[in-house]
Each structure stands twice: as C-alpha cells, then as structure tokens.
Structure 1
C-alpha cells in the first residue's frame, strides 16, 4: 500500500474500510475474540480514495498476557480481474458445454461456471467451491496428475490431454482437460465431456474391423466359388453332351447363379448375408427370360418368405435353384410350349423349406434321385448335403422337388 507506516499507526482499522464494509469489519473483529484464526473477503480503501478487494486472515496471539491480532492482507484485484474475464469468456462458450474453473495455489476451486459443475453432475458451483480438485478424480487419477501433470505445468505453464473424471455419484467418464497457470500461481481449468466422441470412435473402429473381417471373408468366398466353377467343369468333362454350345450354356447358367449371389451380397448392409427371397425373384426371372421364346410360354409363380442366409450357404442354395429351374424348363417342358412352374420358400425358427414344382412331363415311375447319375441330380444331392438338408421328389399331377435344411447352423 502507498500509505507510510507512521501514517497508519495512528489510525483505527475501520478507517481503511469503505462505509458499506464497516459492519462486516466489526463482525470479523467480534469473531476473532472467540477464534484464533479465520478468513474473510472485504473491500479496503486506499489513501487516494480508490478501493480494492482483499482476502483478510486475522490471527490472534497472546504476548505478555495481552491479546495481539496479526492480520495478513492479500490483494485479490488481479485474481478478480481474471475471474471477470473468465466469466465473460464462459458466457461466450456456454453453448458448447465446456466447463471452466479457477483454482487457487492450494488446488481449491475459487470459481467455476455452471457447465463445469454440470459435467460432474453437481447441481451448482456452490457444491464445489472451496473444495479441492481431488474430489473429482479417483485416487489412481490423482496420483497421475501429481506425478506427471503438475510437474509439467510447473515447467511449461500448461498441459492438455485426455483423462478420466469422476461424477458426483462415483461413475467415471472420459474427458479432455486443458490446464494453464497464471502469474500469481492460480490454475485455469477447461474441461470437456468426450464420452459421445469416444463412443463414436469405438463404433467407427468396430465397423472398420468388421469391414476388414468381411473383406477377408469375401476374398475367401470368391476363392471357394472359383474352385466350385472348376469342379463343375471337371464334372461336366466326363458327361457326354449333345453340343459344345449346350455345355457352355449350362456352365454359364451355373456361374450366373453364383455371380448373382455376390451381386446381392454387395447390395446388403452387412456384406455377409443375402436376402434369399430377393435372390430367387431376380434369378428366376433371368432363367425364365433365357428359356422362354416366341414359341414357349412358361409362367413362374412365386410364394417367397423373406429370409437372410449367410453367403457360404447361399451359394449352394443358389446352385440348387439353378438346377431345379433348368431341369424344369429343359426336361419338364420338352416338347411342350405352355406350362407352369411354382416356387415356394417357407421359413420357421428351425427349418427352411424350398419347393420347386412344374406341371410338365412326369418323371419315370422308377425315378429315384439317389440312383440318378446325371450331373444335375448329382449337384442337387451334393449341395443339399452341404446344407445338411434332405431332398425329396413327389409326383401328384405335378413334379415337386422339396429341399429342407436347417435355418441356422
């Protein structure tokens, strides 16, 4: 203070206060009679009439049987200016829900905005003011701050990073913290709750991992399907055909059935399952177009229940459907220009039932799918076993192929 020592010695303490602070000053002097030490905030008046806010800490001693009061006065002007500036800034960023606080050199909160208290689930800043920052962290996090963060702030004047905070109810949450030290030893703390950001990052990482896994799976399936094509050609090599053109058409049809599976796969959301109903709808139309002509008028009726199937099981099912439809067109309606094919797909919790029937030429009376050695029937039997299913053929005005297999393996 600018007042010289001898000018102050003759004055009473009340002369240093503004008029509106006299009552508060008397209250402090009254309390010091019963307490050895206390702390209060008050406003002092300088010699030139200007005022300043200060923290007053009077301590009582007994010297020679006489009570002596020693008063420590801390000018809070700079700190209050910082607080006012913080308040302005906190109002500007309140919409972002960033929490702002100021701590004294003892690590106690002197100021905070509502957002700061809300982040930790406290009803108002009053619940945290004059409390230590350690209240908002677990013991392990407190040790981390004391061992790593505080020394860096002393050295660099600031620190920023991610850590874990503790809410009022004890639950923890990820947060981003920015700390900076002021010239008078205080600490400014800005906190942001990043739980939504972390959850989003986790979902992105999980989705990326799923895509990598699915990509490996797709490559694996493509490799297997090429092996299937090679096996189909190998089987056909040992079976007599009327013409090379017929061989190419049959092989092309089988490859198309596999190709369409992958086309549907890439259109699906998961990249791992195919909607069997959509597949049958489209593939049956392709087969119908390829076999029908100006002379033939074969109709296809479908009653299909929606059902998703893993790719590894959709490929053999697609090949089975190809064989059943191709056989119906080529053999069921051989020599006939009109006819009807019906495809049904029924699904329950345990089983999938596929039926393909036609009202064309009947099969021989002694027909047995187990005894038939043609490539088409061999494929149907082999692929049905891959699905861990069964195949049955019945004739009652129409020829009906019924394939049953487990819905889930």
Structure 2
C-alpha cells in the first residue's frame, strides 16, 4: 500500500501522534550521515530494536550493508527526489517481500534529511494468501448481503401486497356500508311518501320537508359509495344531484323556475358532507318556495375556493329580502336548521339582498376538516 508524502519544512516528530499508531513503519533521518531523528513503534518492531537503541544512531548501522536502501538514501539526499523500492529477497523457507518509499525532508530550500515509510514486508506467499483470503471472504460476504437484500425485498413486497389487499378490502367494505345506508334512507323516504298520502293537509308540508332532507342525505351516501376514494364527495356532482332532485320534487317539467350549478373541482370530506348537503337543500328549497311568487326565476348553486376556504353561495333573482319593518321570509324552523348546519361546517354566513333585487346567501368554511375543528351539533 504505497502513499505519497509531500516534502516538509518540519520534522515529522511534530506529527508523531499520527505516526505512532500507524500500522506501517516510518522513520526520519537527518543529515548526510542519516542520523535517526524519529522512529515509530512499527519501525522499531520491524528491525527488532528498542526505541532508545534507534534514536540518534546512523541508519547505516541499523540496515544491512548490502541493502539497496542505503544507496537510495544517498541519492534522495543528494537529488531531493523521492524514491521507491520493491524486491523479493531470498530467504528460507520462502522469499521475503520488501516495499518502501523514501521522501526528502526539505528545510530552507535544501534537503536536510530523508523520511522512510515501509509499505510492506513479509513472506510473499503470506501476502498473496492474505489477499486471496480477503477477496474470498469479500465475495462470500457480498453473496450473503445480496441474499439478505433479496430476502428483505421479497418480504417487503409481500407486506406491501398484503397491505394493498387490506386497503382494497376496507374500501370495498366502506362502499358497501355507504350503499346500504343509502338504501335504508330511501326506504325511510318511501315510508314518508306513503304516510303523506294519509296525512291531513296542515301537516303535509312538514312531512315533505322531512322527506326532502332525508333524500338529500341518501343522495350523499350514493355519491360516497360511487367515489373511488370513499372518503370525500365531489362538491360539483353533489350540487348537481341536489338541483336535479329539487327540480323533480318541487318544480316539474313545466315550471318557470330553473336551478343551475356553478362549481369548481372541489371535494369535501364525508364527515362534513351531510351538513353541507342539508344546508344547500334548505337554502335552495327556501328560495324556490318564497322568492318567485310569479313562478319564474333562476336559482344558482355555486362553490368556489377562496384561499384556504370554500365559498358556497345560493343566489336567486327573485323578489329579494323584505325591507325593515315589512315582515320576514317564512320558515323560522328552516332558519334554525341553517344556523346549525353552518356551525357544523365551522363556517360563517352572510346574507345580502334588497326588495326586487334577489337574495344571496354566502357561507365560507375551511377547506379541510382539521382546520374547521370538531363539528358541533
């Protein structure tokens, strides 16, 4: 493992904290006679001498006379250029492998000494054996990691598929519940219709109003059961359902009153969809019954997003709100219901209009259920 070391103006003894724990042998020599100024523990172990036996002694007394290292030392000191040496020395029972690098130590622009780093020393077969073992263990470990990764991935895929299956089952069950609720509500509507036939005239309007409200809830659950998510209701489609049902139940084909819908692509959570639908039903029914004494006019159901709020408006071009002191619009109970539904939406209501100029009721409520807080009854 050969590394490069730049020439330095300082003794590496200043960096002994780093070299003392290095696994390779490092020593610094000073002057033309190559006096040892520093030797780390790995170097002392390599030559088999104590630290005190090395420091201050000429390097040529520590190295074999025939060692190429002495020649390279003189060359590095003389030329100021680094040198490297690698050789396999004959030794019993197997060759000994050497590899080391020498760098000049520069001070004031001249070579003041040489540093030696021993990169490798040991029997060549041991080095090759260690490399082979490392490669083999690495390959085995890689196979283990790949197998573990494949197993974990298969388990994850199985868990994901199981979760998806459970989610699909839950969605199907939820839709089935919504569908059954809708069917039950329609049964209630049919029972009310049968009861209305036998009810004296003074009480018929009350039964009809109740029937309309329950029908509105039934339409809501029908939309929820058809939704792909099952947790939200598209506002535009819901308003169209309300408009179609009111046109059928209160107006008929020959009526001069029309209901139109103007809605952005918005959705409302199923928890607030019930008071939302009942609110629209109540306001639109009130407009149809009281805004057009001549039997001709337009009711607009609109929903738009304004910042983090939904703005719902029910507008008519009828006779408008009465002037102060001229009475009020009939339907005290209806007004009470409207206030309750607005509160459940977490919204605020503004009513505007004037005699002969139509009426507009606007409700703003939070876009998301969390922002609205818990609904109040």
Q: How many Å separate the matches in 1 of 2:334 and 2:281?
A: 9
Q: How many Å separate the matches in 2 of 1:313 and 1:218?
A: 20
Q: Deviations over 1:10-56 (max 9, x none)?
A: xxxxxxxxxxxxxxxxxxxxxxx9879xxxxxxxxxxxxxxxxxxxx
1:204 Cα deviation from its structure 2 partner: 3.7
Number of equivalenced pairs: 229
Partner of 1:141: none
Q: How many Å separate the matches in 2 of 1:128 and 1:258?
A: 72
Structure 2: gaps of 5 or more residues? 1-91, 96-133, 193-199, 371-377
Cα distance, 1:371–1:253 mapped onto 2, change above 3 Å: closer
1:305 Cα deviation from its structure 2 partner: 0.5
Cα distance, 1:328–1:371 mapped onto 2, change above 3 Å: closer
Partner of 1:258: 217
1:285 Cα deviation from its structure 2 partner: 1.4
1:278 equivalent in alignment to 2:237:
yes
Q: How many Å separate the matches in 2 of 1:290 and 1:372?
A: 20
Partner of 2:61: none
Q: How many Å separate the matches in 2 of 1:372 and 1:354?
A: 22
Q: How many Å separate the matches in 1 of 2:223 and 2:281?
A: 16
Q: How many Å separate the matches in 2 of 1:213 and 1:294?
A: 39
Partner of 1:249: 208
1:342 Cα deviation from its structure 2 partner: 1.4
Any idea what SS the aligned residue of 1:404 has?
A: strand
Partner of 2:63: none
Partner of 1:287: 246
Q: How many Å separate the matches in 1 of 2:325 and 2:366?
A: 26
TM-score w.r.t. the length of structure 2 is 0.50
Report if the CA contact (8 A) 2:256-2:295 is conserved: yes
TM-score w.r.t. the length of structure 1 is 0.47
1:269 equivalent in alignment to 2:245:
no
Any idea what SS the aligned residue of 1:363 has?
A: coil
1:362 Cα deviation from its structure 2 partner: 2.4
1:1-400 equivalent positions in 2, closer than 5 A: 133-137=140-144, 165-166=145-146, 173-175=149-151, 195=153, 198-199=156-157, 201-206=159-164, 208-209=166-167, 211-212=169-170, 243-293=202-252, 295-333=254-292, 335-366=293-324, 374-396=332-354, 397-400=357-360
1:298 Cα deviation from its structure 2 partner: 1.0
Q: How many Å separate the matches in 1 of 2:359 and 2:137?
A: 88
For the pair shown, the structure with the greater C-alpha radius of gyration is 2
Report if the CA contact (8 A) 1:372-1:378 is conserved: no
Cα distance, 1:342–1:367 mapped onto 2, change above 3 Å: farther
Report if the CA contact (8 A) 2:290-2:329 is conserved: no
Cα distance, 1:340–1:35 mapped onto 2, change above 3 Å: same
Q: Deviations over 1:189-215 (max 9, x none)?
A: xxxxx8367336414415515754895
Q: How many Å separate the matches in 2 of 1:213 and 1:306?
A: 23
Q: How many Å separate the matches in 1 of 2:269 and 2:363?
A: 17
Q: How many Å separate the matches in 2 of 1:242 and 1:352?
A: 40
Q: How many Å separate the matches in 2 of 1:371 and 1:340?
A: 18
Q: Deviations over 1:256-297 (max 9, x none)?
A: 111111111111111111111111112211111222235522
1:378 Cα deviation from its structure 2 partner: 0.7
Q: How many Å separate the matches in 1 of 2:252 and 2:175?
A: 40
1:173 Cα deviation from its structure 2 partner: 2.1
1:136 Cα deviation from its structure 2 partner: 2.7
Report if the CA contact (8 A) 1:342-1:358 is conserved: yes
